[in-house]
Chain A
Amino acid sequence: MAQNVRNVSQTEEVSSTRRVIAASSVGTLIEWYDFYIFGTLAKIISEQFFPKDNPTAALLATLATFAAGFVIRPFGALFFGRLGDIIGRKYTFLVTLVIMGGSTFAIGLVPGYKTIGFFAPAIVFVLRLLQGLALGGEYGGAATYVAEHSPAGHRGFWTSFIQTTATLGLFLALGVILIVRQTLGVETFSDWGWRIPFILSSLLVGVSVFIRMKMSESPMFVKMKKEGKTSANPLAESFKQKDNLKMVLIALLGATAGQGVVWYTGQFYALSFLQNACNVEFVQSNLIISIALLIGTPFFIVFGALSDKIGRKYIMMAGMIIAVIAYRPIYTVMYNEADLKTKTEVVEKTTVEIKEAVKGTDNVTTTVTKKTFADGTTYKETKNETVPLDAAKKAELAAAGKLKPETKKETTLPQAIYYKMIGLVFVQVLFVTMVYGPIAAFLVEIFPTRIRYTSMSLPYHIGNGVFGGLVPLISTRLVEATRPAPGLPPADPLAGLWYPILIASVSFVIGMLYISNKTNNMDVE
């Protein structure tokens, strides 16, 4: 009889935890989706909202906005973390969801630079900051909330579901963008179709808010509040008290900084590398990443659960050091597999098509060259040369060196190389799952309940937002630094990897030396 009662109670507990996980995860997934559609559509947003005179400046401006979205995250962590430790987890991360959804929806409605001039990038910039602020408050709340519902000995497993949301959010963003783009066609998508993924967010957020409204507050927080033990000033307690500050520092330098760069390299840099260094065609490159993410996602749970058994530290550190060692070889193979110089061209299949048209005051010459290679790779180069009909203007632009043609290169890989690329990205996602799967449990366990939301959110968002979020900007810069002259290919297309390798190496040494491998030492009472 007593056994039956215990079994029923255990079943109810598991079922309740599952509901908590599902409700928390769906909301967090949507927040990540909202955040990533902006990054994924960086090029189009750059064209829509920033002056086109200098494409590199426009792209950098977008990346800077992207970085601003990341840089602002720690402030969101502080603001909402404090609220979450004072008024509770549930309402705080409900607010972050509404702010995120509202900002994303609004980005989809902002008129372009052509219509409202400077206001367009200014408004987008502010909305992006709001997105960053909301995301800064969301993750810590969700991880804390789930961890505080999870039974001891299983926190790694249960919190790993929250860890899958960042990757699934990116997957969802890529999926929605691909579907909308394929349905509307490239031209319509670039014109206005890109707004759909942003507007769609309002629907997803609405559903998620509804689900979250029905959730109850974290039992640990309720107990603490009843006993009058909540913190009056979580910020001061987290960062002015030496015992907490030293844990914040160890969490940042020994875990989240390394985890952040591994995360962004394996998912964002891989995509950027495929598209910009390997020139892999848009749909194919996105499919490579999406499939690798999908296959890799269950491993967040595998490593989260494993961390309950063998400890968080060694799994995270193994992920970092293997990534450090393997990045250059992996990217070398990726680069070589797509490198057309190593392939044999089937010359008789090469076609060149030239079209001339007058558009307004310009004469536009479009040259499309299509090549086929012996291994099945196909290559398409579209060169658009815009020359003013007015001779004086033409001479003026030529003198200023502004008559350079716009060239778009698209390589479509044959199946064997395509699958190999998926495998290579999957291996990187595996590193991500090792460092990221156990990290929520690690972070919630090193801070006390009364300041947990604040204390864990800041190192997480500095590590991911600043160290990780700057991977695209710094890596692009490092590659550019090896370019002998404008227009020539970079001497070392893999130079961008030095930034994540350096950060992850330092993080590994600090983590190995100073982090404890104990689990379940969560201060809850």
Chain B
Amino acid sequence: MSAIKKLFGIVWSLMGIGIVPMVIMQAMKEIAAKPSEENWIFWSIVIVVLMPIIAFSLIIFGVFALKGEYDVIK
């Protein structure tokens, strides 16, 4: 079980890292195609609020998991 937890740690970290360029590129693509106010509002919320939370928490969580911090949970 510990090995699986550690292995998934890599997955979480990679997901956290991968989400940043993916979201930014999608935002740029959509805003370039239609630079409307609603597009700006939507992507600002996603980039400023949602993306950092997902990225940071997944990366740190993944690193902890990889280091075996969750092998024994109280």
Chain A positions within 8 Å of B, measured between CB atoms, are: 54, 56-57, 60-61, 64, 67, 71, 242, 245-246, 249-250, 252-253, 446, 462, 466-467, 470, 473-474, 477, 509-510, 513-516, 518, 521
Contact = CB atoms under 8 A, between A and B. Distances in A.
Given A250-B70, A252-B57, A514 B65 contact: yes
A523 to B, nearest CB: 9
A246 B64 contact: yes
18 contacts: A56-B38, A57-B36, A60-B37, A61-B41, A67-B49, A71-B49, A250-B70, A467-B50, A473-B42, A477-B42, A509-B8, A510-B61, A513-B4, A513-B8, A514-B73, A516-B73, A518-B74, A521-B74
Nearest to A54: B37
Interface in B28-74: 36-38, 41-42, 45-46, 49-50, 53, 57-58, 60-61, 64-65, 69-70, 73-74
A17 B33 CA distance: 59
Contacts of B5: 513-514
A242 B37 contact: no
Contacts of B4: 513
Of B36, B49, B58, the most chain A CB neighbours within 10 A belong to B49
Contacts of B74: 446, 516, 518, 521
Contact of A515 (B37, B46, B65, B73): B73
Interface in B4-31: 4-5, 8, 12
Interface SS of chain B: helix
Interface residues of B, number: 24
Nearest to B15: A506
A470 B45 contact: yes
Given A246-B64, A470-B49, 8 more contacts: A60-B38, A71-B45, A250-B70, A466-B50, A510-B61, A513-B4, A514-B65, A515-B73
Closest 7 CB pairs of A and B: A516-B73, A249-B61, A60-B38, A514-B70, A246-B64, A246-B69, A71-B49
